[in-house]
Amino acid sequence: MKVNLRRIVGWRFGSARLIHLVGFLLSCAFLPSATARPCGSLGVAVQVLGSGGPELQDKRASSSYLVWEDGQARALVDAGGGSALRFGESGAQMSQLDVLLFTHFHVDHSADFSALIKSSWFEDRNRPLPIYGPEGNDFMPSTTEFVSDFFGDKRGAYRYLSELLVPGENGSYKMQPHDVAGSASPIGVFHSGDLAVSSVRVIHGQVPALAWRIEVGSKRIVFSGDTNGEGGGLTQLATNADLFIAHNAVPEGAIGIERSLHMPPSVIGQIAGDAHVKHLVLSHLMLRTLGKENQTQSEIEKRFSGPMEFANDLDCFSVR
């Protein structure tokens, strides 16, 4: 479980004790980082690199998550704006990753991809980097298109780095992008050692989108990505998850386009309850959901009785 400072300072203390507590917390904040225990140094954990949506005024990085096992960053899910900086702050290395997964290619899920890849250039990675994400349509590129739009040798915006993608040239390693045909029920997509990855197609307007499940040994972590929650695939994927990270992009009562793209708290609660997840974390918070945590929590608690928390950037959730 993470240490939730917001909850701690929300307790009712006398003003003198509160001043002491705040002083103590500030002193903790300025301890040398060497004394802080990094996320996932023992066992499996998920670190939230970006807990926000597209808006910069939320002062959060956009969507991105890192799965740790015993001090190794094993998988990255999405790379929204700001997440590359958070990746560096987490202490992770691109050379550690077994796989990079995209839920979809909206800017707030993919804008820092090229920054992460460029940083990896300076690392000692000597094995391919598999990249999985959705197929394309008239509105969005496929995963292979998206990667080659940046790094393709002829037309890529960053074609000066094409040796990280194009076969036959000498790079330190190669990206291996793959398009995943989303399915209504979970399908296995990738595995490496004790890490196994599955996905289902989810509904996010006209944008091809996937939810991901990452299993590390016996630990099961599910990422909803952006979706309006329609269809039963996400519930199947999340069944008995040890940790379910769901996107709280709209408040209860949302209508119109917002609702057609995103699931309100009641739908999140229904899915978490039906899937019997063990721990729910709400992320992809936006200006329209921040400040409505009490309403969100009560809607969810009508349908899901397990522990739930709201994510902040760099929060570390142990998976027990």
Q: List interacting residues with Zn ion (CB under 5 A).
A: 108, 226
Kindly give, in sequence order, each residue whose CB lies less than 8 Å from that of residue 207, ignoring residues fewer than 6 positions away. Answer: 104, 105, 106, 139, 140, 226
How far apart, in whole angstroms, are the C-alpha atoms of residue 83 and residue 301? 30
- Least distance to Zn ion, CB of residue 75, Å: 19
Task: Output 177 or 225, the one with its CB closest to Zn ion.
Answer: 225
How far apart, in whole angstroms, are the C-alpha atoms of residue 203 and residue 173? 34
Helix (H) / strand (E) containing 253:
none
Task: Output 164 or 200, the one with its CB closest to Zn ion.
Answer: 200
Task: Output 62 or 318, the one with its CB closest to Zn ion.
Answer: 62
Q: What's the length of the chain?
A: 320
- Least distance to Zn ion, CB of residue 264, Å: 15
Residues forming a β-bridge with 244: 222, 280
Task: Output 226 or 309, the one with its CB closest to Zn ion.
Answer: 226
Kindly give, in sequence order, each residue whose CB lies less than 8 Å from that of residue 289, ignoring residues fewer than 6 positions away. Answer: 248, 249, 250, 251, 296
Helix (H) / strand (E) containing 15:
helix 15-29
Task: Output 101 or 319, the one with its CB closest to Zn ion.
Answer: 101
- Least distance to Zn ion, CB of residue 65, Å: 13
Helix/strand/coil for 290: coil
- Least distance to Zn ion, CB of residue 176, Å: 25
- Least distance to Zn ion, CB of residue 216, Å: 25
How far apart, in whole angstroms, are the C-alpha atoms of residue 290 and residue 93? 31
